[in-house]
Amino acid sequence: MLNSLLCYLPTKIYMGENILDKLKEFKEYGKNAFLVTGKTFVLKSGLLQKIEGLLHEEGMETHRFCEVEPNPSVETVEKGARVCRDAGCDCIVAIGGGSPLDAAKGIAVLSRNEGGLRDYFGVEKFRNEPLPIIAIPTTAGTGSEVTRYAVITDWQARTKKVVNSYRILPKIAILDSVLTLEMPPSLTAFTGMDAFSHALESYLSIHSNEFTSMLSIDAMKIIIDNLPQVMKKPGNLDLRRNMLFASMVAGITINRTGTIIVHGMGYALTLNYRLLHGESNALLLPVVIKHLSGGYREKLKKLKKIFDDDIWNIILGLNKKTGIPKNLESAGIKKEELEELAQRAMIDCERSLKNIPVKMDVEDFRKIFKQAFYGRY
Q: Any contact of residue 98 with ligand NDP (CB under 6 A)?
A: yes
User: Which residue in 23, 51, 81, 151 binds ligand NDP (CB under 6 A)?
Assistant: 151
b/e sequence 9-29, b meaning 16+ C-beta within 10 Å: bebebeeeeebbebbeebeeb
- At residue 159, the 3 state secondary structure works out as strand
- How far lies 188's CA from each of 139, 233, 321, in Å? 8, 11, 12
What is the identity of the amino acid at 252?
A: I
Q: Please, are residues 122 and 153 in contact by the beta-carbon 8 Å criterion?
A: no
| Cα gap 211→118, rounded to integer Å | 33
User: Which residue in 35, 36, 38, 292 binds ligand NDP (CB under 6 A)?
Assistant: 38
Q: How far is the CB of 160 from ligand NDP (least distance, A)?
A: 6
| Cα gap 142→301, rounded to integer Å | 27
- Per partner kind, with CB cut-offs from 5 to 8 A, the member of ligand NDP, Mn ion, none near residue 41 is ligand NDP
Subset of residues 221 to 280 that bind ligand NDP, contact rule: CB under 6 A: 277-278
Subset of residues 288 to 307 that bind ligand NDP, contact rule: CB under 6 A: none
| Cα gap 210→334, rounded to integer Å | 41
* Nearest CB to ligand NDP, comparing residues 61 and 182: 182
Q: Any contact of residue 191 with ligand NDP (CB under 6 A)?
A: yes
Burial class (CB in 10 A: 0-12, 13-18, 19+), 294: exposed
Subset of residues 202 to 221 that bind ligand NDP, contact rule: CB under 6 A: none
Q: Please, are residues 220 and 200 in contact by the beta-carbon 8 Å criterion?
A: yes
| Cα gap 148→162, rounded to integer Å | 9
Q: Any contact of residue 182 with ligand NDP (CB under 6 A)?
A: yes
* Nearest CB to Mn ion, comparing residues 30 and 286: 286
- At residue 162, the 3 state secondary structure works out as strand
Which ranges of the chain would DSSP assign to H, the alpha helix? 41-44, 47-57, 74-86, 98-110, 185-204, 210-232, 237-257, 261-273, 277-291, 297-307, 311-321, 338-348, 362-374
Q: Any contact of residue 99 with ligand NDP (CB under 6 A)?
A: yes
* Nearest CB to ligand NDP, comparing residues 149 and 312: 149
Binding track over 156-195 against Mn ion, x by CB under 5 A: --------------------------------------x-
Q: Any contact of residue 34 with ligand NDP (CB under 6 A)?
A: no
User: Which residue in 111, 144, 216, 355 binds ligand NDP (CB under 6 A)?
Assistant: 144
* Nearest CB to ligand NDP, comparing residues 126 and 371: 126
Q: How far is the CB of 66 from ligand NDP (least distance, A)?
A: 8
* Nearest CB to ligand NDP, comparing residues 33 and 243: 243
Q: Which residues bind ligand NDP (CB under 6 A)?
A: 38-42, 70-71, 96-99, 102, 138-139, 141-144, 147, 149, 151, 160, 179-180, 182-183, 187, 191, 194, 277-278
Q: Which residues bind Mn ion (CB under 5 A)?
A: 194
